[in-house]
Structure 1
Amino acid sequence: MNLIDKTIKYLGYFTAIVLAVLVLLVVYDAMARYLFSTGSVALQELEWHLFDIVILFAIAYTLREGAHVRVDIFYASFSQKTKLLINTISSLFFILPFSLLIIYIGIDFVSMSFIQNEASSNPGGLEHRFLVKSLMPLSFIFLLLQAIKDTKDDYMKWRAA
């Protein structure tokens, strides 16, 4: 297993842990609000930030595991060689350009947030919003690496078939 595979695998494990923490946090927050009529803006924002981590970091892991969205009703009936060709074309013309675009735009987005020391506009909200915003280009770097690895692997399998 190479470095990209290991990195994305552990990123998936990390995401699962964050998801478990998120569930506990939401349960605590709901109980505090409805049973004790207390709440925290920071806690609610933390829930959103953890949700961001789950969604953004799960993208590359989902691609690695082959659990991404596709039209399986057609895809399932294709030959292995056709499936490999579709995967390669999808990566080259959709995943790679889209990832590069998000990384390119995201770096400026995060830089501006960092320079402004962006924080929540809500009283009692979280500071350093640039930290969660930095996950966007980072997650697409992981997706880009996984897509490149998969494209290379699919091409080698296609040539061998």
Structure 2
Amino acid sequence: MADAEQPVVLRKYGRPAPLVRMTGWTILACLAAFLINNILNVGYGYAGVLDLLQGQGGTVALAVYAVLVAGAILFVLATRDVALRWDADRIHKFNLYLIRVCFWSVLLVGIADSLIAILRVEKGLDVFFSEDTVRSLGLSRYVGSYVHLPLIGLSFVIGLFTRTLGFTWLTLMIVASELLIVISRFVFSYEQALMGDLVRYWYAALFLFASAYTLYEEGHVRVDVLYAGFTNKTRGFVNAFGSLFLGAATAWVILYIGLNGKQSIINAPLMNFEITQTGGVGMFVKYQMAGFLGLFAITMLIQFVSYFFEAVADYRSEPGKRELAPVAH
């Protein structure tokens, strides 16, 4: 929606809720500060906020948090008349962009890396590249830096001009890859490690990146004992509470454990461009699959903030509630 339409949205979608908005936007500000500090710590050796307690620096990290949190609070104060559903919609659309970028990235990187891998295994790189380039294409750090990263950068541009999330197409590519494995194995008795790598790579992306959109569509499995009998107001309260203290909290745990220092389970593979035990005969994408966990937590945390805003709007019985498509049973 254009900014010129905002007054109409405000009248239609409810009363302002500055304290609720401040909570949600502060969470997003802390997320941005956490990711920035992770880059500063892992890439440039800056101390973290917790290092302040041990007298080992950390003032830069604290300043990043202070500036971004203050910015979030000032933003809310400057736009105090904005309704919750308006904010929820904007945050969701930004998250959709991130998910689109992720899907285009894994699609392009998967195709490019699998082609390089098959040429590497079948000794076909010599036909197209010089000896030095062929040697470099056997190194995961080189492929990650000069093949994967440019394709990921291109995905950010493609994501601006596309509106499809790519779920259907990525699922089709997974099915096609599985079919190719079956045909090549049982008809031609031919199989390479890269084939399984590609399927696992796309499978992981499909399920982890689609989770945030599934939350938006209420598609996750809900063990329903009491919820179906609740009023809309009670459902709003339950969803708001669950978004913050169950959903967002879980996402933060994943981020803290996965991005806690250079040797953490996400940072270490990313920094080292880690590959599978198959070595040079497989794809060089294992390090990205570790990063998928972080991206899952990031997109889910953003979506939980949007969901929190919508849930509070439901609790306040504000108009504009989304009508979800019926789920087939």
1:5 to 92, 95, 99: 92
**Given residue 109 of structure 1, which amino acid in structure 2 is its aligned partner?**
I
Once the two structures are overlaid, the 10-residue window that deviates more, 83-92 or 121-130, is 121-130
Question: What corresponds to 1:85 in structure 2?
Answer: 237
Alignment of 1:77-156 (within 5 A): 77-107=229-259, 108-123=264-279, 124-156=281-313
> Counterparts of 2:93 and 2:169 in 1: how far apart (Å)?
17
Distance 1:157 1:50, change over 3 A: same
> Counterparts of 1:128 and 1:28 in 2: how far apart (Å)?
20
Distance 1:87 1:57, change over 3 A: same
What stretches of structure 1 of length at least 5 have no aligned partner? none
Distance 1:66 1:29, change over 3 A: same
Distance 1:94 1:83, change over 3 A: same
What is the aligned-residue identity percentage? 26
Instruction: State the shift of 1:7 in Å.
Output: 4.2
Instruction: State the shift of 1:130 in Å.
Output: 1.3
Instruction: State the shift of 1:41 in Å.
Output: 0.5
TM-score (norm 1): 0.89
**Given residue 270 of structure 2, which amino acid in structure 1 is its aligned partner?**
F
> Counterparts of 2:302 and 2:272 in 1: how far apart (Å)?
30
> Counterparts of 1:7 and 1:54 in 2: how far apart (Å)?
19
The CA deviation string for residues 28-48 of structure 1, in whole angstroms up to 9 with x for no partner, is 111111111111101111100
Question: What corresponds to 1:34 in structure 2?
Answer: 186
Instruction: State the shift of 1:106 in Å.
Output: 2.1
Once the two structures are overlaid, the 10-residue window that deviates more, 13-22 or 47-56, is 13-22
Instruction: State the shift of 1:73 in Å.
Output: 4.8
Instruction: Tell me which protein shows more helix as a share of its residues.
Output: 1
> Counterparts of 1:150 and 1:35 in 2: how far apart (Å)?
49
When Rg is computed on C-alpha atoms for both structures, the one with the higher figure is 2
Alignment of 1:65 with 2:217, yes or no, is yes
Quote the RMSD (CA, aligned, Å): 1.9
Once the two structures are overlaid, the 10-residue window that deviates more, 75-84 or 39-48, is 75-84
The CA deviation string for residues 36-92 of structure 1, in whole angstroms up to 9 with x for no partner, is 111110111110010000110111011010111212353222111111111111111
Alignment of 1:19 with 2:106, yes or no, is no
> Counterparts of 1:56 and 1:80 in 2: how far apart (Å)?
29
**Given residue 312 of structure 2, which amino acid in structure 1 is its aligned partner?**
Y
TM-score (norm 2): 0.46
Instruction: State the shift of 1:146 in Å.
Output: 0.6
Instruction: State the shift of 1:17 in Å.
Output: 2.0
> Counterparts of 1:105 and 1:14 in 2: how far apart (Å)?
29
> Counterparts of 2:236 and 2:215 in 1: how far apart (Å)?
14
Paired residue secondary structure (1:134):
helix
